[in-house]
Structures are given as C-alpha cells and as structure tokens.
C-alpha cells in the first residue's frame, strides 16, 4: 500500500509540475516589439498569461494572430491579462508584446504560454465507470493542491519582483534628491561665507600724490 501511495503521489507531483507550456521573462526596450511563434494543430486549446514586472507605468501592448494573419486578441497598455483560445486552423500562431508607445522606459514582461489540456493523472480516469477509491481521491486532491501551490508561488514571485523594482526605483530617486539637496546646501554655504566676508573687508583709501 505504501508503494502504491508513493507512486500515486509522484504521479500527482509530476502531473502538476510537468504540464506542457512555456514560461519566459523578457526585456522589452523602449519603442520595440518582441514576437513569438508557435505551430499548433486545429482544435488545440492554448492560454496566454502575461504581466509587466517593471518599467514605466507597468503597461504593455499585446496581440495574437492566427495563421492567416487575423487578430484574435488585442489589448493596449495592459498591466496583466489572460487569454484562452481554441484553435480553428492548423499553422503558426503569433503573439507579440509591444512597447512602441514608450520612448524612454524599458519593460520587463513575464508570460506563461500553455498548450493543450492537462493529461489525467490516473490512467483511463476520464473513461472510468466506477467511483474512485479513497487512495485515488486523495491523489487527485494532492494534485489539485500542488497546482494551487505552484500558481500561488508564481503569483508571489511576480509580486516580489514588481515590488523590488519599485523599491529600487524609489531608492534611486531618494538618492538623487539627497545628492541635489547636498549640492544646494554646499552652494548656499559658500555663498553665505563669501557674503559675510564682504561685510568685514576693510576698504583702504587710495593714497594721493604729494
């Protein structure tokens, strides 16, 4: 029983960690656009999740095109979003992230591209006519909990990266402001010293000829 339980637990763990998809964090320069291409079969489900981690107002343009060049999704200046679609055509699908509206700020964008449905963790699970055993039900519950943990970890990791970026940006602004105040105080101090010195300077009368 222990061996069967261990096998089912490992199957749940690998099923939660091994779902097909791609996660990537990319740098998007100002006035630039980055595109990615994926060849898909017809009738395939895919999901695109993305979020801007740092840069500017934390917004980005995004669009998805089918193999015929038809736009099936388009959003402008979004901080984060999720898009799910079932393909009707076989071919190369293109999704792009654009920062063309920004002329100064670089962006860091995270996206997760998942293709297809997750396979069942138990063999013939979708075609079974009998109820799941207590062990199998526990395995399914563990699998769902692992998926929830992975999603939560991704969410908190992105929030931590976003907050760290904001903290570093705020720290840079405070440092520049402090340097400016120091420079102003230095200039004002020198000006005050020179002004006071001019008050106490004796002006000697010029000596005339005999």
Q: Is residue 59 within 8 Å of residue 52, measured between CB atoms?
A: yes
Average pLDDT over residues 112-133: 69
Q: Please tell me the least confidently modeled range out of 90-94, 117-121, 128-132.
A: 128-132
Residue 148, helix vs strand vs coil: helix
Residue 196, helix vs strand vs coil: helix
pLDDT > 70 fraction of the chain, expressed in percent and rounded: 78
Q: Is the pTM of this model over 0.75?
A: no
Q: Dump the DSSP string for 46-96.
A: EEEEEEEEESTTS-EEEEEE-TTS-EEEEEEEESEEEEEEE-SS-EEEEEE
Q: Dump the DSSP string for 4-44.
A: HHHHHHHHHHHHHH--SEEEEEEEE-TT-EEEEEEEE-TT-
Asked whether the CA dihedral 42, 66, 81, 159 is positive or negative, the reply is positive
Cα-Cα end-to-end distance for the chain: 126
Report the distance separating Cα 107 and Cα 79, nearest Å: 11
pLDDT digits (tens, 9 = 90+) for 93-104: 999 999 988 888
Residue 163's pLDDT band, with cuts at 50, 70 and 90, is confident
pLDDT at position 63 is 95
DSSP bridge pairs for 65: 71, 94
Q: Is residue 74 within 8 Å of residue 46, measured between CB atoms?
A: no
pLDDT > 90 fraction of the chain, expressed in percent and rounded: 30
Helices 2-17, 134-199: inter-axial angle, 10-degree rounding? 40
Report the distance separating Cα 87 and Cα 47, nearest Å: 11
Q: Which helix (H) or strand (E) holds 165?
A: helix 134-199
Average pLDDT over residues 42-53: 90
Top-confidence residue, 20 or 33: 33
Distances (CA, A) of 56 to 24, 75, 99: 20, 17, 10
- Cα 157 off chain centre by: 9
Q: Is residue 192 within 8 Å of residue 184, measured between CB atoms?
A: no
86 phi and psi, to 5 degrees?
-105, 120
pLDDT digits (tens, 9 = 90+) for 57-68: 888 999 999 999
pLDDT at position 36 is 93
């Amino acid at each position: 029983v222990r061996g069967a339980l261990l096998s089912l637990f490992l199957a749940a763990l690998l099923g939660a960690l091994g779902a097909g998809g791609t996660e990537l964090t990319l740098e998007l320069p100002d006035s630039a656009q980055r595109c990615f291409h994926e060849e898909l079969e017809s009738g395939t489900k895919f999901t695109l999740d993305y979020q801007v981690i740092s840069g500017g107002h934390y917004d980005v343009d995004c669009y998805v095109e089918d193999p015929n060049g038809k736009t099936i999704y388009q959003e402008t200046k979004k901080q984060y979003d999720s898009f799910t679609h079932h393909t009707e055509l076989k071919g190369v699908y293109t999704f792009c992230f654009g920062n063309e509206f920004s002329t100064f700020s670089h962006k860091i964008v995270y996206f997760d591209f998942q293709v297809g449905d997750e396979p069942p963790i138990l063999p013939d699970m979708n075609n079974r006519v009998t109820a799941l055993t207590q062990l199998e039900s526990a395995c399914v519950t563990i699998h769902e909990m692992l998926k929830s943990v992975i999603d939560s970890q991704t969410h908190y990791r992105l929030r931590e990266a976003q907050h760290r970026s904001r903290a570093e940006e705020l720290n840079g602004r405070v440092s520049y402001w402090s340097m400016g105040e120091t420079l102003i105080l230095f200039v004002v101090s020198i000006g005050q010293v020179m002004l006071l010195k001019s008050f106490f300077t004796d002006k000697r009368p010029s000596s005339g000829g005999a």
